[in-house]
A and B are shown apart, each in its own frame.
Chain A
Amino acid sequence: MATAHSRTAARFMIAPAVLLLLGWMIIPLSMTIYFSTLRYNLLMPGMEDFIGFDNYSYFLSDPAFFSALTNTLLLVGGVLLITVVGGILLALLLDQPMFGQGVVRILVIAPFFVMPTVSALVWKNMFMNPVNGLFAFMAKAVGLQPFDFLSHAPLTSIIIMVAWQWLPFATLILLTAMQSLDSEQIEAAEMDGAGAFSRFFHIVLPHLTRAITVVILIQTIFLLSVFAEILVTTNGGPGTASTNITYLVYAQSLLQFDVGSGSAGGIVAVILANIVAIFLMRMIGKNLDI
């Protein structure tokens, strides 16, 4: 298989696929870069002029940008914290031998199959609604004032919804990792006099580092672009309290019809995502080495 001839043939064979994928990425990216340098407003067609980096300076100096940036990081960080810690605890629980283990595991995975808009609407209308929601009902049952989650703690509410969606993913990955731990290691630790907590912190947790790294990296990619949950619940509000970068780009291009500024925001988002990626790989990427 590794003759010079077969290698040349292989290159020819994969060339179309590579070119297609390359075009798929390069064309939208270069168009976005091109649009980001135009004064391009949908309300003023035919007046697209080249204005250099003006769109970037507008976007970056917009007060909404910094709150969106903070919100994005809070959202990613908050969800990661909840899913990783909760995922480890759930995985520990599911790893115990119990009756109906298979069914329970499927139930735990279920939230992952619910599409984001649906789960956000369910949370918004059936749980967090201050009049009809379950939480309001529970608060009233014990004589408390119902709390209006989405207007008083919009970002936290969204973090809870997104964390609920991603918890199964983290649980699943961490559970499989936990099951791959050699039971003799646990027994050896037991013989060595390690209690349940020592065993967890000295044996189980180090064994999970790689799985935790995978969970963090994969989730970060998706959490940077959370959009549907915000659109159907808070619309980024009140004010910009629950606007993240993705939602800000949407607001710029399709609510204010400013495609130029929206494109500039898109490019900024790409750069930010890369900064986060580099940062993450520096921090935890070494866990992926064997």
Chain B
Amino acid sequence: MGQIKLEKVTKAFGNTQVIPPLDLEIEDGEFVVFVGPSGCGKSTLLRLIAGLEDVTSGDIVIDGTNATELPPARRGLAMVFQSYALYPHMSVKKNIAFPLKMAKMPEDKIEEKVKNAAHILNLTDYLDRRPGQLSGGQRQRVAIGRAIVREPAAFLFDEPLSNLDAALRVNMRLEISELHQSLKTTMIYVTHDQVEAMTMADKIVVLRAGNIEQVGSPLELYRSPNNLFVAGFIGSPKMNFLEGDDAAKYGAHTIGVRPEHLKVIPGATVGSGWTGTVGVIEHLGSDTFMHVHLDGNRGTITVRADGDNPAKVNDKITVEALSEDRIYRFDKDGMAIR
């Protein structure tokens, strides 16, 4: 079991309130990702759940029991830290066994559990090494191993992949997703990388300045963002925003179109769409991203085109939305008009 409920949780450091009253429900077995720009309070929120910080007010309920006042160890949660926080003077085996040793489990049972965890995480050959002798990905796995032997109600991950290189990050992302599928334990994962959020989550919680901007499945957030912030944060490259006359045409203060929902028509044709000059072109092979300076100083928009699109820098082109319903409309306060 791993159902976590936050009820009107707030956190203030001195006079600065970092988390205004916040409600959130996390179902058993869910993979929830907290995502947001740095300093949005997502790590603080995770530490509140873990019990490493005290809540200023409100309640944290884990599996039906109020855990607000419980010390971290008694909440039945396990955490994987950004720096992995492995104990450098202990071997991998001792690192993984540490929480069990603290729980005063008998030796033979510890041995068995450590072996099991090492097997799941492909660490069997490294059990006698020290953390200093391991690569980044292996250290990450040891940290996860230390978490899974406790059989926690939920795993908490605090930006666990940010210290890895890009290729390894993709691998570990997959491994964590697979781990979630096989363990079916609740996982809460904090990241500032929206790609990690989109690829791993069952449910994404988008945070800004301690506020929950929107909660939903990755596709929900992608397809119907509640406001400008979520629209701009989810999706890569960012959604294009246009204001003024272009937006007024659609009866909105701001309109947004994702780069992948635009098509390119060579030459400056008069009609629907926007005409402009091609600026920087980024070739990714499969796709080509073009930064188009719109005529009349209306800003720059990014367009995704085919990998073999022939357009060159300084070409005049016209871009057009694939269809009207791919255009998102927002009012003056940045809220979506539906």
> When the two chains form the complex, which single residue of A182, A191, A195 contacts B50, counting CB atoms closer than 8 Å?
A191
* A190 part of interface (Cβ distance < 8 Å): yes
**Which positions 69-99 of chain B face chain A at CB distance < 8 Å?**
71-73, 77-79, 81-83, 85-90, 98-99
**Which positions 135-151 of chain B face chain A at CB distance < 8 Å?**
146, 150
Q: Do A194 and B102 touch across chains, with their CB atoms under 8 A apart?
A: yes
Q: Do A188 and B103 touch across chains, with their CB atoms under 8 A apart?
A: no
Quick one: given A184-B83, A198-B102, A202-B98, are A190 and B52 in contact (CB under 8 Å)? yes
The closest CB in chain A to the CB of B52 belongs to A187
Taking residues whose C-beta sits less than 8 angstroms from the other chain, chain A's interface range is: 10 to 19
Q: Mark B24-64, 1 if CB is under 8 A from A, else 0.
A: 00000000000000000000000000111000000000000
**Which positions 183-216 of chain A face chain B at CB distance < 8 Å?**
184-185, 187-195, 198, 202-203, 206-207, 209
Most B-side CB within 10 Å, residue of A188, A189, A194, A209: A188
Cβ of A193: which chain B residues have Cβ within 8 Å of it? 73, 99, 102-103
The closest CB in chain A to the CB of B150 belongs to A192
Q: Do A190 and B87 touch across chains, with their CB atoms under 8 A apart?
A: no
The closest CB in chain B to the CB of A203 belongs to B87
* CA distance in complex: A282, B215 (Å): 61
What DSSP secondary structure best describes chain B's contact surface? loop
Q: How many cross-chain pairs have Cβ atoms below 8 Å apart between A and B?
A: 59
- A213 CB → nearest B CB, Å: 13
Q: Do B83 and A182 touch across chains, with their CB atoms under 8 A apart?
A: yes
Cβ of B86: which chain A residues have Cβ within 8 Å of it? 185
> When the two chains form the complex, which single residue of B51, B73, B89 contacts A192, counting CB atoms closer than 8 Å?
B73
Quick one: given A190-B52, A191-B50, A192-B73, are A185 and B85 in contact (CB under 8 Å)? yes
Quick one: given A184-B82, A198-B102, are A190 and B72 in contact (CB under 8 Å)? yes
- B298 CB → nearest A CB, Å: 48
* CA distance in complex: A203, B89 (Å): 8
Q: Do A191 and B77 touch across chains, with their CB atoms under 8 A apart?
A: yes
> Residues on A close to B: CB < 8 A?
182, 184-185, 187-195, 198, 202-203, 206-207, 209, 290
Enumerate the 8 nearest inter-chain pairs by beta-carbon distance, A residue then B residue, closest first.
Answer: A193-B73, A192-B99, A188-B85, A184-B85, A206-B89, A193-B102, A184-B81, A185-B85
